[in-house]
């Protein structure tokens, strides 16, 4: 059962890594330009994508942290 949860978590990470900007920019276009009917699941996905984008912005520009603390110049 634990392997299933790890697989689901990994799938979610990959999905939102590639899809967060598409969902964040595409859903308002669907709603306001193309008259798409409101959908609660897509609304939650949009909020989650917004939270991930905000977290990435804070980590990169405000806290100036990287996911990798490796320095290429030290390896040479």
Farthest CA pair distance, the chain: 56
pLDDT at 68 (0 to 100): 62
Reported pTM: 0.67
Please state, in angstroms and rounded to a whole number, the distance separating the CA atoms of residues 76 and 64. Answer: 24
Q: Are 49 and 16 in contact (CB under 8 A)?
A: yes
pLDDT at 67 (0 to 100): 59
pLDDT at 34 (0 to 100): 92
DSSP state of 37: P
pLDDT at 6 (0 to 100): 82
Half-sphere exposure of residue 47: CA atoms within 13 angstroms, side-chain side: 6
Low-confidence ranges of the chain (pLDDT < 70): 65-76
User: Average per-residue pLDDT in the chain?
Assistant: 82
Please state, in angstroms and rounded to a whole number, the distance separating the CA atoms of residues 76 and 60. Answer: 26
Half-sphere exposure of residue 3: CA atoms within 13 angstroms, side-chain side: 0
pLDDT at 25 (0 to 100): 93
């Amino acid at each position: 059962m634990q392997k299933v949860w790890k697989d689901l978590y990994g799938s979610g990470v990959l999905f939102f890594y590639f899809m967060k900007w598409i969902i964040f920019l595409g859903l308002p276009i669907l709603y306001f330009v193309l008259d798409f009917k409101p959908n609660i699941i897509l609304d939650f996905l949009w909020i989650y994508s917004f939270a991930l984008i905000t977290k990435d912005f804070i980590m990169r520009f405000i806290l100036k942290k990287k996911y990798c603390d490796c320095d290429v110049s030290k390896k040479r």
